Structure 1
C-alpha cells in the first residue's frame, strides 16, 4: 500500500510553495458549505479559488461541484488540484504566465 498524502498535506505544500513565490494564500472559511479551500492572489492581482484533494480517493461533494460551477459561470479562476502533482502543475502553469 502506498502512502498517499492527506488533503492537509497537499494544502501545506501549496501554502509553502506560494510563500516561496511571495504570493498570498488565504484559507477560505465561509458560513456557506462547499467553498474552495484556498484563495491565492498572484502578482498583477489575479485571484484563484483552489479546491485541494488528495491524489487518490479525493472526491468533490455535490455541494463543492455546485459552488465551483457557480464560480466558473461567473468567470472566476477556479481549479481543483489533486495531490502534490496537481499543485505542482498548477504552480508551473502560473509561473510560466509571470
Structure 2
C-alpha cells in the first residue's frame, strides 16, 4: 500500500469516528487542513445564494462522474469535480470529464474556495 493511499484511508477512518461520535469533520478538526467536504459545502452555499442549485451527482451505471451538477439562473449548467487543495482527478474521472466535454458540457475541477468564487463570477482558471 502506498503512503498516500494509507494516509487517505487513515483520514477517512478518523472522519468516520468523528461523525459517529457526533463531531463535525471540518478543517479545524483535520489539523487546519481544508478537506473536500469544506469546499463542497462552500460551493453549495454560494450557488444557493445566487438562486441556483448544486445537486449531488451519483450515477449507479457509470463510475467517475463529477460530484455536482451546478445550475445557475438564466440557463447556465456545468459539472463540478471537488477535490481537496492540490488534489487531482483519478484517470477514470479525467476520462469521464473528457467525454462530457466532447458532449458540450463544461467540467471544472475545483480544489479551493477561491476557484469556487472565480467560477461563479464567470472567470476562467487553470484546472
**Could you say whether these structures have the same fold, taking a TM-score greater than 0.5 normalized by the shorter chain as the test?**
yes
CA apart distance, 1:34: 0.6
Runs of 4+ in 1 over 3 A off after TM superposition: none
Alpha-carbon distance in 1 for matches of 2:122, 2:33? 23
Q: 1:48 and 2:78 equivalent? A: yes
The CA RMSD measured in Å over matched residues stands at 1.5
Segments of 5+ residues of structure 2 without an aligned counterpart are 1-30
Whichever structure has more strand as a proportion of its residues is: 1
| Residue of structure 2 aligned with 1:17, choices 46, 53, 68 | 46
What residue is the counterpart of 2:115 in the other structure?
86
- TM-score scaled to structure 1, two decimals? 0.85
Aligned partner of 1:76 in structure 2 is 105
Q: Hey, what's the Cα distance between the residues in 1 that align with 2:120 and 2:88? A: 21
| 1:78 Cα deviation after fit | 1.5
Larger radius of gyration: 2
